[in-house]
């Protein structure tokens, strides 16, 4: 019976020497969940880089694209949240197999629970340089400029920049929980929780698998003394850890990895 919602993020397919094996394992995992998966949430950076040309498809990713099309054809609803690495997917996945593409966090409801779901980049504004780069890359000007340049040139630059960025973050030990005051997603969630209630907030981007409570005092004038809290779930990544999260029909979230180890 298809009654579960699955979440996965940050596979960064196309990056690293093990990208083909990572893609195969992701497809194997998708095969393993297809019997009970009602909705699949791809929370960004599934591809390390992507650009949707009008008449061309970037080289590679044939296994995952075929598998996603197969799942969609079988009736599974697929949502794709663009990340900071695959922000230029545009409407390709929608046209190919009906994926619902989101470019910002969205609110959804499942089994009586209220969810805030997104990739997680650019939230909390903890890095002004990143904010500037994010706005520039998402601009029409940048997209048009990219289309004008040869793909052999632009894709090479994009992958080298991406690999360099991941190595920099690993070297700075950024791939761990940094504390409430330095985690952009947590800062963002506390601001949202001042105004509205969520049961779960599910994001990727940080490559740090965790489940924790986030609490903030409400701004509601009628409930100044009340705190609002939600369970923050970060799906970790598929790049190193093969993490994923699942929502069960009883409304409970579980964080696991492909080796079947529950958190």
d(CA 13, CA 4): 25
13 bridge partner residues: 47
263 inside domain: no
Report in angstroms the alpha-carbon separations of 45 from 1, 3, 31, 231, 263: 29, 25, 20, 23, 23
**Closest among 37, 62, 49, 43 to 12, alpha carbons compared:** 49
On whether the CB atoms of residues 9 and 46 are closer than 8 A, the answer is yes
pLDDT surpassing 90 at residue 155: no
Q: How many CB atoms lie within 10 A of CB 167?
A: 10
Token pair recorded at residue 229: 């809290």
d(CA 119, CA 228): 22
d(CA 122, CA 184): 7
CATH number at residue 117: 3.60.21.10
**Closest among 67, 59, 239 to 166, alpha carbons compared:** 239
d(CA 3, CA 20): 30
18 inside domain: yes
pLDDT, greater one: 237 or 263: 237
236 inside domain: yes
The number of distinct structural domains making up the chain is 1
Residues 6+ apart with CB under 8 A from 32: none
pLDDT band for position 234 (cuts 50, 70, 90)? very high
pTM value is: 0.86
d(CA 144, CA 125): 26
For the chain, how far is it from start to end, CA to CA, in angstroms?
Answer: 24
Length of the chain: 263
Instruction: Work out the mean pLDDT of the chain and round it to a whole number.
Output: 86
262 inside domain: no
pLDDT for res 54:
74
Is the sign of the CA dihedral 126, 162, 77, 4 positive or negative? negative
Q: Which domain holds residue 147?
A: 4-257
164 inside domain: yes
pLDDT for res 102:
97
Model confidence over 184-217: pLDDT tens digits?
999 999 999 999 999 999 999 999 999 999 998 7
Is the sign of the CA dihedral 134, 216, 249, 208 positive or negative? positive
On whether the CB atoms of residues 57 and 69 are closer than 8 A, the answer is no
On whether the CB atoms of residues 143 and 88 are closer than 8 A, the answer is yes
Token pair recorded at residue 13: 């397919």
Q: How many CB atoms lie within 10 A of CB 112?
A: 7
17 inside domain: yes
252 inside domain: yes
Q: Report the share of the chain in percent with pLDDT over 70.
A: 81
Model confidence over 29-64: pLDDT tens digits?
999 999 999 999 999 999 998 887 777 777 789 999
């Amino acid at each position: 019976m298809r009654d579960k919602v699955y979440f996965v993020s940050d596979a960064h397919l196309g990056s690293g020497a093990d990208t083909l094996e990572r893609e195969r394992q992701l497809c194997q995992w998708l095969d393993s969940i297809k019997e009970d998966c009602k909705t699949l949430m791809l929370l960004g950076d599934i591809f390390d880089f992507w650009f949707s040309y009008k008449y061309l498809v970037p080289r590679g990713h044939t296994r995952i694209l075929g598998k996603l099309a197969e799942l969609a054809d079988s009736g599974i609803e697929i949502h794709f949240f663009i990340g900071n690495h695959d922000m230029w997917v545009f409407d390709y996945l929608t046209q190919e197999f009906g994926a619902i593409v989101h470019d910002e966090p969205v609110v959804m409801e499942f089994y009586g629970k209220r969810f805030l779901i997104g990739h997680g980049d650019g939230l909390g504004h903890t890095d002004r340089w990143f904010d500037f780069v994010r706005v520039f890359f998402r601009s029409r000007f940048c997209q048009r400029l990219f289309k004008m340049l040869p793909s052999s040139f632009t894709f090479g630059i994009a992958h080298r920049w991406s690999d360099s960025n991941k190595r920099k973050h690993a070297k700075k030990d950024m791939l761990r929980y940094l504390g409430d005051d330095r985690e952009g997603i947590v800062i963002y969630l506390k601001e949202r929780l001042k105004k509205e209630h969520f049961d779960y907030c599910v994001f990727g981007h940080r490559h740090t698998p965790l489940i924790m409570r986030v609490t903030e005092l409400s701004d509601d004038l009628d409930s100044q003394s009340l705190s609002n809290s939600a369970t923050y779930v970060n799906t970790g990544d598929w790049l190193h850890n093969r993490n994923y999260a699942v929502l069960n029909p009883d409304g409970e979230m579980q964080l696991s990895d492909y080796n079947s180890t529950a958190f």
